[in-house]
Chains A and B, each alone.
Chain A
Amino acid sequence: MTSFLSAFFSGTAQGAIYALVSLGLVLVWRGAGIVNFAQMGQAMFTTYIASQLIQNDYSYWSAFLIALISGAALGALVDLGLMRPLTSRKNSQLLTSQSMRTTIPVIASLGILGVLKALAGIFWAGEERGFPSPVAPNAIKIGETNLAITGFDLFVIGTVFLTLVLTTIFFTKTGMGLAMRASALNPEVTRLSGIKVGWVRTLGWAISGIASSLAGLLVTPKTNLSPNTLDLLLIIGFTAAVVGGLSSLAGSVLGGFILGYVISFVNVYSAPENVFIAILVFLLLALFFRPQGILGSKQVRSV
């Protein structure tokens, strides 16, 4: 029973982080039709920035905030500096074929990933380092009994919950949120409504950058930080996004939590080395039996 509960709670906390990664991927996919494979590279980079600031005696929270802001800036920069010019080029012969139009942004995002990893290695000497958490990672005690949940898990779940509430309010209650949903669903009608779809798209990249930076800050106290630490998070986040139906924001969050439980239970009841295979099997099953995802609509996955 204890092992079940601890698997459940750590699954919830991990799932919360995966939900952020998956949300970040879906935001960009819906807005720009690109899966950003550099996303967790960007997050790795901003987490290093936070780590550097903390080393220079900044407080945890100011480093936290600066990391999120750099996440937004980096996301916007990737769009403005690379993706927008790439996808708007009409004359290139290679991009006239439909498969190349989807392939080139993928390759570009891999290029960014490579550059960011190398730069992180050069700036911060590449070796693994710890990353602090504002809450002690001990199990919470009531009297003498250890509960199955740690204070850090609670911190993660709380932060992500708050983020998801804010995101929901942003998308359903604000004009900018409406503009983002509209641009993703029908760019032409949105442009004809006088909305600058290009900038809305850039905003999507920026928010995605914030979400993934946050995921980086929340995951590294447990995994440590190195240029490659967050690769796994990208893979899991991608699987979560596909499971949820790449086009649905709610689905991406749900997919994140499902993956959290799957991985946590495989970890506890099977063995850690089975995690990769479990992810692959889970992804393939999802693609075979429900390619449109749990909450995705069928027509979106026609290509």
Chain B
Amino acid sequence: MSKVKTHKVIGLRSTRLSIVLFLFFILLSNQFEPYNQSQLANIAMLLIAVLSITLLTGASGQISLGQGAIMAVGGYSSALLVTRLGLSMWLSFILAIFISALFGLFLGLAAARLSGPYLAGTTLVMALAIPSIAVRFETFFSGDVGISVDYGMPPKWLTNLIGEVSIEEWSLYVVLPFTAVALFAVLNLSNTRTGRTWRAVRDNEVAASLAGINIARTKVIVFVCASGLAGLAGALYGFRGLVAPSVYPTDLSLTLLTAAVIGGLRSIGGAIFGTFVIVFLPDLIEKVTGKLAIPETIGIYLPALTIGVLLLLTVILNPRGAAGALEHIRHKKKH
């Protein structure tokens, strides 16, 4: 009886958290000028991709350096569905989830046999190879030029309801529902029996398999779920204007991993924090370098340098990331 109760409470809490975040974004966006609104939309869509890493690495211990490539799969799927088959954008987003998940299934079947560094290396190769497929089959995927797609204009009923909506604001409204649902799904998953199974695999494969958990199958399922999320993020990311190999470079995969790591691989709050950092950090650094009159030739490398240093500091000082540090402080206060 009590078990059922806790489940309900948890479900309620994650619903509340998702809604609060949803409203927070919208409120925030009203205070912002268009540029920051589009940054906010970037955060909302990249958050979905970062959550896929939190799910994969934080919850089941698999590491992927190729989430950007899976984003590309999602991006190309939705772009092709819209431009070739004339499907609606919304439907193409949903289908992109399934196509990427299917892709993740094949990948997961290979990945389930791999551990740690093997998986990292293989996904890194994938991050480099998959965008090049678009160049190889140029007639189908439009090569380096890419496919132009966008969110379209805000519908009449919305403008009638709340007045003029800028393109940037509209992009935020398109992305936010997906982010909220993704957040809700991941929050709930980590508290269910399935989530516990995944964590058991992460913590000790031998013990988990002795407890009757099918390790390989569990790993494949996690991979499929994470790929679905990354694919969705990729589709949303592409519809900012262009789906092309240059939109999903290897660096994107590494940036996403950075966000998950500095926030804390095991924490969803950490994922949100990390995503804010990677999106706003370049802006912040640009402002600082502008003030300090640092030449641009150096300035363009500072974001990458800062992110690298942050990554190193995180693994050295506190591998559990910002979320872990926060927990540590809270724990100390109690005592």
Task: State yes or no: do A and B touch (Cβ within 8 Å).
Answer: yes
Which of A12-20, A143-151, A232-240 is found at the contact surface with chain B?
A232-240
Interface residue from B122, B130, B315 paired with A283 (Cβ < 8 Å): B122
Q: Are B122 and A287 in contact (CB-based, < 8 A)?
A: yes
Interface residue from B57, B132, B265, B297 paired with A276 (Cβ < 8 Å): B132
Cα–Cα distance between A230 and B124 once the two chains are bound (Å): 14
Chain B at the A interface: SS class: helix
B65 CB–A CB distance under 8 Å: yes
Q: Are A103 and B61 in contact (CB-based, < 8 A)?
A: yes
Closest to B206 in A: A98
Closest to B131 in A: A276
Cα–Cα distance between A99 and B208 once the two chains are bound (Å): 13
How many interface contacts (CB-CB < 8 Å) are there between A and B?
A: 160
Q: Are A117 and B122 in contact (CB-based, < 8 A)?
A: no
Chain A interface residue count, CB cutoff 8 Å, equals 55
Q: Are B122 and A107 in contact (CB-based, < 8 A)?
A: no
Cα–Cα distance between A121 and B302 once the two chains are bound (Å): 9
Chain A at the B interface: SS class: helix
Q: Which A residues are in CB contact (< 8 Å) with B110?
A: 284, 287-288
Cα–Cα distance between A125 and B301 once the two chains are bound (Å): 9
Q: Which B residues are in CB contact (< 8 Å) with A102?
A: 115-117
Cα–Cα distance between A119 and B307 once the two chains are bound (Å): 12
Q: Are B129 and A279 in contact (CB-based, < 8 A)?
A: yes
Cα–Cα distance between A8 and B63 once the two chains are bound (Å): 37
B211 CB–A CB distance under 8 Å: no
Which of A44-52, A108-116, A128-136 is found at the contact surface with chain B?
A108-116
Cα–Cα distance between A86 and B320 once the two chains are bound (Å): 13
Cα–Cα distance between A148 and B223 once the two chains are bound (Å): 47
For residues 37 through 64 of chain B, which have their beta carbon under 8 Å from a beta carbon of chain A?
57, 60-63
B217 CB–A CB distance under 8 Å: no
Q: Are A277 and B308 in contact (CB-based, < 8 A)?
A: no
Cα–Cα distance between A34 and B320 once the two chains are bound (Å): 20
A58-96 contact mask (Cβ, 8 Å, vs B): 1 or 0 = 000000000000000000000000100110000011111
Measured between C-beta atoms, what is the minimum distance from A223 to chain B in Å?
Answer: 15
Q: Given the known inter-chain contacts A99-B202, A115-B305, please indicate yes or no for A121 contacting B300, CB distance below 8 A.
A: yes
Q: Are B304 and A280 in contact (CB-based, < 8 A)?
A: no
Measured between C-beta atoms, what is the minimum distance from A14 to chain B in Å?
Answer: 17
Interface residue from B57, B130, B305 paired with A118 (Cβ < 8 Å): B305
Q: Are B129 and A303 in contact (CB-based, < 8 A)?
A: no
A242 CB–B CB distance under 8 Å: yes
Closest to B298 in A: A122
Interface residue from B132, B133, B204, B261 paired with A107 (Cβ < 8 Å): B261
B121 CB–A CB distance under 8 Å: yes
A271-303 contact mask (Cβ, 8 Å, vs B): 1 or 0 = 101101101100110011001000000000001
B205 CB–A CB distance under 8 Å: yes
Measured between C-beta atoms, what is the minimum distance from A114 to chain B in Å?
Answer: 3
Q: Which B residues are in CB contact (< 8 Å) with A94?
A: 265-266, 319-320, 324
